[in-house]
Chains A and B, each alone.
Chain A
């Protein structure tokens, strides 16, 4: 998956730099809608209420920490760099979902914000792959929060391997909660501020 993303990104940048191609703005809306539809479908079909109940409390605490921690980081980065607070806050609240965050920020705040949203969230995933074992050593299952939305898909195998089966289940629920919240938070934030 990472190779597909890197390849698509490089091809996209090269095309933008060297060729003058104009795609209709509807292009991204269509693909975003398709992606959100199937993600919504997948989240709903994989919902197992018995397992969900067992680890809901822990996962909810982790999800709250992920959202609040990401928001604090966004504000802190905005004051540190004296930069666009909305773009940094929205980028941090993407919580690892780079495709959606990059696309939404590009669509509503421009190409610089789109790049920020994309790169910051790709880096969050990459750092999770690198740092999770170290963070788990000291923070135990609290380390799941670093993965954000990716804790239910791309980083889940790593979390399962390092932390065990039960932590993997908590990670899955945490990722499900975050994945449900990211579109709502980002679209709500951007709609509220822009309109």
Chain B
């Protein structure tokens, strides 16, 4: 856990210091693919993909997060101050 926090902070500090933009998309794509593969591997091994209840909970949870986030944002910004198209 500490390594992850340090990696994130180190990246931010280096970014602030250098201000030199680099193309991180290929790196991100590769790391995301590796991470998603690992998640899939562990899920496959545990047979969790056949857990229909879990899939239903995920669906409801994602919809609830969207609804509550937008509802609160609407209350805080009163519809937002920017309406340009």
| Number of residues from B at the complex interface, CB < 8 A | 73
Residues of A within 8 A of B34 (CB): 8, 27, 31
A14 to chain B, nearest CB (A): 7
Please pick, from B10, B21, B33, the residue contacting A40 in the complex, using a CB distance under 8 A: B10
Q: Is the CB of B82 within 8 A of A170?
A: yes
B40 to chain A, nearest CB (A): 2
Given the interface contacts A15-B41, A39-B8, A41-B14, does A29 sit within 8 Å of B3 by beta carbon? yes
Q: Is the CB of B44 within 8 A of A164?
A: no
Please pick, from A8, A31, A40, the residue contacting B9 in the complex, using a CB distance under 8 A: A40
Which A residue sits closest to B69, measured CB to CB?
Answer: A69
Q: Count CB-based A-B contacts (< 8 Å).
A: 326
| Number of residues from A at the complex interface, CB < 8 A | 99
Could you give, for residues 58-69 of chain B, a 1 whenever the CB lies within 8 Å of some chain A CB and a 0 otherwise?
Answer: 111111111111
What are 26 A-B pairs at a CB distance below 8 A? A7-B33, A12-B36, A12-B43, A33-B7, A34-B7, A36-B7, A37-B8, A44-B13, A45-B18, A46-B21, A61-B73, A66-B73, A73-B65, A77-B60, A77-B61, A115-B43, A118-B39, A123-B62, A127-B62, A140-B80, A142-B76, A146-B66, A148-B65, A164-B84, A183-B4, A187-B1
Other CB < 8 Å A-B pairs besides A15-B44, A37-B11, 9 of them?
A28-B38, A44-B14, A69-B68, A83-B57, A115-B39, A115-B54, A120-B65, A139-B79, A146-B66
Q: B interface vs A, CB < 8 Å?
A: 1, 3-5, 7-16, 18-22, 24, 27-29, 31-49, 51, 54-55, 57-77, 79-85
